[in-house]
Amino acid sequence: MSKRNLIFIAIAVVVLGFLAWQIFGGSKIPDGFAAGNGRLEANELYVAAKYPGRIKEVLVNEGDTVEAGQVVARLDTEELEARLRQAQAQIRQAQDSERVATADVAAKRAQIDTRRSELAARQADLTYAQQQFSRSKGLVGRGAVSEQEAETDSARMLTTRAQVAGARAEIATAQSDYVGAQAMVGRSGATIAEASAEVDRIRAQIKDSVLVAPVRGRIESRLAEAGEVLAAGGRVYSMIDLSDVYMYVFLPERVTGKIQLNSEARIVLDAAPQYPIRAFVSFVSPLAQFTPKTVETQEERHNLTFRVKLQIPKERLKQYEALVKAGTPGLGYVRYDTQKAWPAELEPPAKMPTNLWQPTGSAAGK
């Protein structure tokens, strides 16, 4: 290539760069619009163990895109399963005791009924014996009955009275046994309830030992590997939420008062300036601050600015997932005059390319 051609190419690059600066980065922003530098941000989440344990499997790699509820790791549950079997055995043992105690309650109830029937018979015998003794005692004075017969009737009455007292004592004993059998049923039921609660708790702990992605997102870092022992709350992955991506820009106070919430906005990433992303204003800081050093030039740093959040709608995020990386720099544009039309350079293409989004990480080969 000749020296003249190189010069022409250099001039063309300078001119194009100047035009781009005028359109995107320069001070000549169309009326009704405001712009500022920023970086893509996304909520960072952690996949962590709820309970302490040893990691059995780590199933995804850094860069993988995972769906909400997808299994990403498993903890070893051998000890938990042993405790589960022990608790289940306690339930079976308590159920056997409950069945025996329930049968005993029924037997004690029948025994009480039998003893009450016997008591009724003994009381009838006592009534008869008392009447017979009363008659014999009255007839002794008239010589109709001998004293020996009267003494025999008296002895029979006393014997029957003792039998009534014995029957009552047997009823009291049977009732005490009945209460004891009921208490055994109650203790067995309490043991079953306690062991069942332990089974439910262990099962929940086993379920929580399977770690799942809380949201659709991208794995940023693997923080632990198989075989490591985690404490409660130990982190296994860090990931970004692909349903909540935004950019903060800092705009001068002369325009922030004109910006309404839900105002239309655009995000132009340095990595893909040909694909402006539709966004909206979801937050305007009520407090002014100095412009951060990473956003504006040193000469403008003395100006007060307001932080403005440009949110990318969830329904559009999947189109741009390949570009969504926390920290990606770009420009954010806000339209505060709804009468103004967006410049053609800031209008997203009518049709997004079908190959813009591709699976990342180890998921790319699946």
Does 30-66+218-365 match 79-208 in CATH topology? no
Rounded to whole angstroms, the Cα distance separating 345 from 330 reads: 15
Q: Which amino acid is at 226?
A: A
What ranges make up the beta strands (E) of the chain? 33-48, 53-58, 65-66, 71-75, 210-212, 217-222, 229-230, 235-252, 264-269, 277-290, 304-311, 329-335
Residue with tokens 């329930």: 102
pTM: 0.63
**Which residues, in sequence order, are bridge partners of residue 244?**
none
Rounded to whole angstroms, the Cα distance separating 278 from 247 reads: 12
Measured in Å, how far apart are the chain's first and last C-alpha atoms? 45
8-state DSSP, 224: -
How do strand 304-311 and strand 235-252 relate by DSSP bridges? antiparallel
Give the H/E segment covering residue 187: helix 147-208
**Which residues, in sequence order, are bridge partners of residue 71?**
212
Q: Residue 14: its pLDDT value, please?
A: 41
* Architecture in CATH of 30-66+218-365: Beta Barrel (2.40)
> Residue-wise pLDDT tens for the chain (366 aa)?
554 554 455 444 444 444 444 444 444 678 889 999 999 888 889 999 999 999 999 999 998 989 999 999 999 999 999 999 999 999 999 898 888 888 888 888 888 888 888 878 888 877 877 887 777 766 766 666 677 776 776 788 888 888 888 888 888 888 888 888 888 888 888 999 999 999 999 999 999 999 999 998 889 999 999 999 999 999 999 998 888 889 999 888 888 888 888 999 999 988 888 888 889 999 988 877 765 555 545 555 546 788 899 998 887 777 777 777 778 899 999 998 888 898 988 888 776 655 444 444 444 444
The top-level CATH class assigned to 79-208 is mainly alpha
Which residue in 107, 266, 263 sits closest to 185, CA to CA? 107
Extract the tokens encoding 44.
Answer: 């960072």
Residue with tokens 């209008």: 347
Q: Quick check: 209 and 53 in contact, CB under 8 A?
A: yes
Rounded to whole angstroms, the Cα distance separating 54 from 226 reads: 8
Q: How much of the chain is helix, strand and coil, in % rounded to 5?
A: 45, 25, 25
| Opening angle at CA 259, ends 257 and 262, nearest 5 | 145
How long is the chain? 366
Other CB atoms within 10 Å distance of the CB of residue 103: 12
State whether the Cα torsion 126-132-135-136 is positive or negative: negative
In the chain, where the domains are located: 30-66+218-365, 79-208
